[in-house]
Amino acid sequence: MNETIKRCTRCLLPGSYPGIKFNKKGVCNFCLEFKQRSLLGEELFLEKIKSKIRDKFDCLVGISGGKDSCYVAYLAKERFNLRVLAVCYDFPFLCELARKNVKNVCDTLKIDLIIKKSKRNVEYNLLQNHLMSTAATGTSWGQCLFCHYGIDAILYNVAKENKIPFILSGVTNSELWWNPGNRIVMLLKRIKKLGLIEKAKFIYYQLKAYFCLVNQRREFKLPSNSCFNAYKKPKKPLNGPEFVNVFDYIKWDHKIIEDTLVERTGWVKPDRSLSWRYDCILEPMLDYTYKREFGISSAGLYLSALIRSGQIERDEALEIIGQNEDEEYLRKAAQHVFNYLEIPLRSQNAFFNAQ
């Protein structure tokens, strides 16, 4: 498959990607506009950490079991000799291997670990209602809202309680560049096309999902963010602990990261071609909807960014995407999520058959 897709000759973006243009050599505008970022360096990182008074811990690390967050924990503890506290937001979609990796890494590196879980499985109810609501639109836009908020709120509160001035994160540039358009606008367009009963269903289940989001915000409070403004991107409170992205300072190299973690921390590599975001079982829903909507999965977008920054060869990325974007594979992965959330077959079919 994918033989007939016109792709950028440098990355993997297809001609169907929103806002794409190709030059005469078939190179896309995203590749042409890409600029390699320069790093701030280790010295500045340490200078920053030392700039504030610390109590028992120098920094807090949010850890999910994924390779980037585990590597940040490793760097903080082993390379920089910092006193690290780790916190894991254990929601019901974290895969078992991720949970094991969190434990392995913290045990091996002797890092204190706090695990935070919601009281009444609010995330499961949320996603069940959210997917029931959006099924007929053929998308799942909004599925990640709870996680973005939950992580920020939990990190903020744990840092505050333990008087930790810095929260280290490991978000890479490769995850931040894409913005295929406003997804709320796209979703609203889809809803317009639905019949009356489907529209009513959307509102009914979305209202239930909304109250789950409100409940999550009530349980994990983040100052200066209203519980009821639950679709809004969380704002980081001023004067609180500072979020520091370690990969603004230190080089990110996926091969070095994986090898180091396996050799030094007991981290276990997932049994698949791409270890990115293996930790959340909801990710295939995104891959499926991105592929259908924009002609490329979120994994493909990520790989495209890796090619641009020289982290992976295009041929290798093409091979990985071939496995990851196989229609049957993506459909099964999405079905698995639906079944786990006990979404009735009728809604599942509405999702897969949506135009």
Binding stretches for Zn ion (CB under 5 A): 8, 10-11, 13, 28, 31
Shorter beta-carbon distance to Zn ion: residue 13 or 75: 13
308 neighbors 34 (Cβ within 8 angstroms): yes
CB-CB contact of 101 with 73 (8 Å): no
**Minimum CB–partner distance for residue 12 and Zn ion (Å):** 7
First-to-last CA distance in the chain? 21
**Shortest distance (Å) from residue 26 CB to Zn ion:** 9
> Least distance to Zn ion from the beta carbon of 223, Å?
41
Is the distance from CB of 214 to CB of 230 less than 8 angstroms? yes
Give the closest residue to 108 by CA, choosing from 155, 69, 58, 73.
Answer: 73
Q: What distance in Å separates the CA atoms of residue 241 and residue 6, rounded to the nearest whole number?
A: 46
Nearer Cβ to Zn ion (23/349): 23
Kindly tell me which of 63 and 305 has the beta carbon lying closer to Zn ion. Answer: 305
Q: Which is nearer to Zn ion, 33 or 263 (CB)?
A: 33
- Retrieve residue 92's tokens: 């019901």
- CB 317, min distance to Zn ion, A: 11
Query: Nearest approach, Cβ of 299 to Zn ion (angstroms)?
Result: 16
Specify the residue, 31 or 244, whose C-beta has the smaller distance to Zn ion.
Answer: 31
- Of 29 and 245, nearer to Zn ion (C-beta) is 29
Among residues 55, 53, 4, 11, the alpha carbon closest in space to that of 30 is found at 11
Region of 94 (left: φ > 0; alpha: ψ -120 to 50; beta: rest) is beta
CB 242 within 8 A of CB 167: yes
Of 17 and 278, CB closest to Zn ion: 17
Shortest Cβ 27–Zn ion spacing (Å): 6
* Structural contact between residues 339 and 16, judged by C-beta atoms closer than 8 angstroms: no
**In DSSP terms, which residues pair with 166 in a beta bridge?**
59, 242
Q: Does residue 142 contact residue 126 with C-beta atoms inside 8 Å?
A: no
For the CB of residue 23, give the shortest distance to Zn ion in the complex, in Å. Answer: 10
Pairwise CA distance, residues 279 & 67, whole Å:
9
β-strand partners of 62: 87
